[in-house]
Amino acid sequence: MAGAERALRTLAHNVRAARTRAGLTLDELGRRAKVSKGALVGLEKAQGNPNFATLVRLADTLGVSVSALLEGPAEGRVRVVTADAVAPLWTGAQGSEARLVLTTTGPAPTEVWCWALEPGEEYPSHPHQAGVVETVSVVSGRMALTVDGAEYIVEAGQTATFDGDAPHAYRGAGTGTCRLVMTVHLPPAAAT
């Protein structure tokens, strides 16, 4: 429980700091991100449990990466993280999950995600800000990637990339679990 409380306090601090840097009031951030003012007040007080879609909308609106909202200060020059060491930010009813493993630093950060998609389970993503590029590399299994209404099958050993500002979704399309590594490349304007 202490880890979850610490993570919520870090999130609260980072959201408040990013909102202040952006010069946004709670009302304005809520309007732009489509999040209620009450939820934002609770979040900045380290109360509540925001879902993954809310975190993505807040990050996009604030011009930062999702991990910039979640991570504490850097620990050192080299950071080694295993996917099992971070909690899933999304879990599906059938056992699918998405874990934000880390985000690189620099003028154009990249988020690194590990996903497991069960057969038939889908995660519909809301469009990101302009300039975001996603790359998905299927390690095992098979997935259906839908971008702007068109479906693409991506098999083990294949990689797909697309502009993340269009509606998109990921679905397990094989008979077993689809495991993939996703990178989300943020535009330089999103760096903080």
Mean of pLDDT values over 134-141: 98
* Res 83: pLDDT: 74
Q: How much is the pTM?
A: 0.67
Beta bridge partners of 94: none
In degrees rounded to 5, what are phi and psi of residue 5?
A: -65, -40
Among left, alpha and beta (phi > 0; psi -120 to 50; other), residue 75 is alpha
Tokens of 118: 């069960």
Please, what is the end-to-end C-alpha distance for the chain in angstroms? Answer: 29
* Res 65: pLDDT: 73
User: What letter represents residue 79's amino acid?
Assistant: R
7-26: b (≥16 Cβ within 10 Å) or e: bbebbbebbbbbbeeeebeb
Of residues 49 and 167, more confidently modeled: 167
Beta-carbon contacts of residue 190 (< 8 Å; ≥ 6 apart): 63, 64, 65, 108, 109, 129, 131, 132
